[in-house]
């Protein structure tokens, strides 16, 4: 039996790692392909660059054996990956009061994807109105920035700054999304850092690894907001893609609230690349 790893984007991630990690957000979607089965019976996108990987000696490892270009006809080919079967359907599984240093009146709510992926979390501060646009921040998890205080990005400042701003305004919600490294995962983010140390910018490093420049999905965030009862938001972001991404899935963005922080010697090039190549409003 061969396994066809179909990436979320048109460019397939050249991935080799533990099978347990493959289902996490940002990693390639893995489908089983029986010999003799037509690819359009197991694959979703019309055009994919597929990496064929064969099961190795251990059931916990995969070994890449080749790359093929294929044309995959499919009646739903125009639909994005998020609209595939069981795409990021979420269930609220737990909630608790969790006082924070900058927001003592906070609750933490956990949402689990039905496909077995990593949980996403919502931090609800105060008692936001459901009838007015709620101050909202979408924050992709960042182990290095959020937990370690890395200076290579501005994620830690954005996370803590958003909590402070929401608390100062009285109420709001921060979605903490399991989309590490713009959706490519921590290990691949470290690989991208290695390439950046060789002179590649953050966009080209992702592309060189076989990923899109940004592999994040916005359907999970929109689903979480709907489950929480929020249909309109004042979105704290510098990224126009977040605005269009939420609106595409039915969440009205009444206002974009700038959310920028000063650069340092370690992240200045990273931030300038986001502005020049990714269209961030910095």
Active-site positions read 214, 216
Q: Evaluate whether 81 touches 44 at the Cβ level (below 8 Å).
A: yes
CA angle (214 as vertex; 209, 219 as ends), nearest 5: 135
The rounded radius of gyration (Å) of the Cα atoms in the chain is: 20
Q: Are 26 and 177 in contact (CB under 8 A)?
A: no
Buried b / exposed e over 187-225, threshold 16 CB at 10 Å, is: ebbebbbebbeeebbbbbbbeebbbbbbbbbbbbbbbbb
Q: Are 257 and 236 in contact (CB under 8 A)?
A: yes
Q: Hey, CA dihedral for 133, 178, 239, 257, is it positive or negative?
A: positive
Q: Which two tokens stand for residue 57?
A: 């000696």
Neighbour tally for 97: CB within 10 Å: 9
Q: Which residue has the tokens 């109420």?
A: 171
Residue for token pair 């190795």: 56
Please return the burial class of 20, using the count of CB atoms within 10 Å of its CB with bins 0-12, 13-18 and 19+. Answer: exposed
Neighbours of 18 (CB within 10 A): 10
Task: Mention every residue, 6+ apart, whose C-beta is less than 8 A from residue 275.
Answer: 281, 282
Token pair listed for 212: 């899109």
Tokens coding 245: 């991404």
């Amino acid at each position: 039996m061969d396994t066809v790893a179909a990436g979320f984007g048109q460019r397939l991630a050249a991935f080799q790692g533990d099978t347990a990690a493959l289902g996490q957000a940002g990693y390639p979607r893995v489908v089983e392909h029986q010999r003799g089965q037509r690819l359009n019976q197991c694959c979703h996108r019309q055009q994919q660059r597929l990496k064929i990987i064969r099961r190795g000696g251990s059931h916990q490892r995969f070994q890449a054996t080749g790359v093929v270009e294929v044309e995959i006809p499919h009646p739903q080919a125009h639909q994005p990956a998020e609209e595939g079967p069981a795409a990021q359907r979420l269930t609220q599984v737990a909630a608790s009061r969790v006082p924070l240093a900058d927001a003592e009146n906070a609750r933490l709510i956990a949402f689990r994807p039905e496909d077995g992926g990593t949980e996403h979390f919502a931090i609800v501060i105060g008692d936001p109105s459901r009838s007015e646009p709620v101050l909202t921040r979408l924050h992709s998890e960042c182990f290095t920035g959020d937990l370690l205080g890395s200076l290579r990005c501005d994620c830690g400042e954005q996370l803590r700054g958003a909590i402070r701003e929401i608390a100062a305004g009285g109420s709001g919600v921060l979605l903490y999304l399991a989309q590490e490294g713009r959706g490519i995962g921590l290990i691949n983010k470290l690989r991208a850092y290695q390439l950046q140390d060789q002179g590649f910018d953050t966009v080209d490093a992702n592309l060189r690894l076989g990923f899109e420049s940004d592999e994040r999905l916005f359907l999970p965030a929109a689903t979480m907001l709907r489950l929480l009862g929020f249909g309109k938001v004042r979105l704290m972001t510098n990224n126009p893609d977040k605005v269009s991404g939420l609106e595409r899935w039915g969440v009205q963005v009444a206002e974009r609230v700038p959310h920028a922080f000063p650069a340092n010697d370690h992240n200045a090039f990273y931030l300038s690349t986001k502005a020049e190549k990714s269209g961030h409003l910095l």
